[in-house]
Structure 1
Amino acid sequence: MIVFYFSGTGNTLWAAKKIANRFWGECHGIMEYAADKAIQIEDDRIGFVFPVYMNDLPWVVKAFLLELSFKNPKYIFAVFTSSSGKNGKAAKNLEKVLQMKHTKLSAVFDLPMPGNCIPGKKAKETEKLKKAPERLEGIIKDIQKNTKSVNQKFLSDKRRGMQKHYAGSVKPNFVTGSWFYRQGMASTVMKPYPDDKKCTGCGICEKICPTGNIQIKNGRAVHGNCCTACYACYHWCPKQAHTVSMPILRGRKQYHHPDVGWQEIANQKKEQKREKR
């Protein structure tokens, strides 16, 4: 088995490692393949563990998916982490790409976790984190049984037995039309930026930024225009030196998964070694 993930606060990294380790599989951060084109996946059991941003897949995830090809997939599952516990358009868009690649999703699972952006009530966020291991264990058991659980609304007309076939109907702006894509309005209003009065230039944000959007210059963090809205810089900064323009987001507390360290987030571009249980 091979499991792909993308993570800012550590939620999906934690879940992906748990799943891969249970199957003695491999766990890879998608940014490991950031410079690659035409990525062929030869494994027959494939997992995608992704966060849901603004009711959809992060734009970097969409870009990664478009580069994939599959040799002989037999079971493809997706686990989506979100504050709401709902994947929105994420599963549907993943299914569209897979159809274009002449394969399909076998199962979709939602895993409620504390969010990275919109502030939530502390008691509810704590409860989600407390229940996550049990919920993930149930997901793992379903994967072990090759459970198929894809909502019919995700299926193309062809898979419903009709003649119309719209696999490959991904729009030209599939990636660029996403929220937070480079210099879109959302990234201008909602993307994190450093507070020069608090920033000490420690370099953690530069190391953990998945797109290389942050650099330390003259002892201070400087953001570029390739934000993916993972908010890793916001949540991992030891000086809480990153803030957001939108007032509703300014007061939210930092969060990152308690079982994940920032070094693991920084290393998500590197292959996670196979571990025995």
Structure 2
Amino acid sequence: MKIKSLKLVYFSPTGTTKAIIQGVARGISHGAVELIDITKANARKQQLQTLENELLIVAVPVYMGRVPALLNEWLHTIKAHNTPAVCIAVYGNREYDDALLELKDTLIECGCIPIAGAAYIGEHSFSTPEMPIAEARPDASDLNHAELFGRKINEKLLSISSLDQSYDIKIPGNYPYGGITKVWSVDFIAINNNCTQCGICSEVCPVDAIDSKNSNSIDNEKCITCCACIKNCPQNARTIKDSPVKDVAIRLNKLYKERKEPVFFF
């Protein structure tokens, strides 16, 4: 089966999901690649349409075992026409639970035909130098695996003349989906005197929860606890303070030290 173009859709506040999907694209090695970054709120106002001669790869982070609610809203607006699709979930070394299955089902509802799926590990949003959780992942081994996954996707496409010859991929998960789609509304960010009001935190926030003129002003109702503002602060002025988020970080650091490895499904 010949693919005319490759569309890469990803939500990646801290860059881990983007690194994985780009690794997969390198493995596929197609000349026509379109990057569709839906991390920023404005990007999620645009509807995506795909055709049967395009390959759609969608990569999302796992939040509390599920596809984040704000992504589900956008994903359900995709208009596809028998488009071959690959679903990828990136999680912080705990579990991906039902998120990958949920993503697969959503893409089917939109008119896609999933041909492969995978779960990768990225540094957890709550990870800090003091409480590392999957620190510095995806690493070289993860990215090599992503490229291998891309090559196998390419091999599968070349082995079939049409999607009629493809089979339903079996993705682990349960019905009804477990986990939680909505994230907490919680005050968890401490801001110290190193803050220069440079505005980078506001720029990287995927939900416009930080006032562009006053970075101390955070809308906790909008915040999705992605910690992009913390990880991207050039002055290290933002940290996780004593809060339910810090309690979870301590627990994850303690219980999930053992390295987990990526898996794929065809």
Task: Give the TM-score of the pair, scaled to structure 2.
Answer: 0.71
Q: Is residue 212 from structure 1 mapped to residue 197 from structure 2 by the alignment?
A: no
Q: Is residue 117 from structure 1 mapped to residue 126 from structure 2 by the alignment?
A: yes
Counterpart residue type for residue 104 of structure 2 = E
Counterpart residue type for residue 55 of structure 2 = R
Instruction: Show the 5 A alignment for 1:234-245.
Output: 234-244=230-240, 245=243
Kindly indicate whether the alpha-carbon contact (under 8 Å) linking 1:16 and 1:27 is maintained by their aligned counterparts in 2.
no
Q: Is residue 8 from structure 1 mapped to residue 13 from structure 2 by the alignment?
A: yes
Distance 1:146 1:86, change over 3 A: farther
Quote the Cα distance in structure 2 between the aligned partners of 1:237 and 1:99: 38
2:102 is matched with which residue?
A: 93
Counterpart residue type for residue 100 of structure 2 = A
Kindly indicate whether the alpha-carbon contact (under 8 Å) linking 2:203 and 2:212 is maintained by their aligned counterparts in 1.
no
Quote the Cα distance in structure 2 between the aligned partners of 1:86 and 1:249: 14
Q: Using the TM superposition, give the Cα deviation of residue 205 of structure 1 relative to its aligned residue in structure 2, in angstroms.
A: 0.4
Quote the Cα distance in structure 2 between the aligned partners of 1:16 and 1:104: 18
Kindly indicate whether the alpha-carbon contact (under 8 Å) linking 1:85 and 1:110 is maintained by their aligned counterparts in 2.
no
Instruction: Show the 5 A alignment for 1:88-167.
Output: 88-117=97-126, 122=132, 125-126=135-136, 129-146=139-156, 150-151=169-170
Q: Indicate the percent of aligned positions where both proteins have the same amino acid.
A: 20
Q: Using the TM superposition, give the Cα deviation of residue 80 of structure 1 relative to its aligned residue in structure 2, in angstroms.
A: 1.8
Distance 1:196 1:82, change over 3 A: same
* Structure showing the higher strand proportion among its residues: 2
- Structure 2, unmatched stretches of 5+, are 1-5, 158-166, 252-266
Quote the Cα distance in structure 1 between the aligned partners of 2:237 and 2:250: 13
Distance 1:62 1:205, change over 3 A: same
Encode CA deviations 1:122-165: one digit per residue, 9 max, x unaligned. 59635762421221121111211127783265699xxxxxxxxx
Superposition misfits of 4+ residues, deviation over 6 angstroms:
none
- Structure 1, unmatched stretches of 5+, are 157-168, 181-185, 253-277
Q: Find the residue that maps to 1:109 and give its secondary structure.
A: strand
Q: Find the residue that maps to 1:188 and give its secondary structure.
A: coil
Quote the Cα distance in structure 1 between the aligned partners of 2:136 and 2:19: 16
- Give the number of aligned pairs: 225
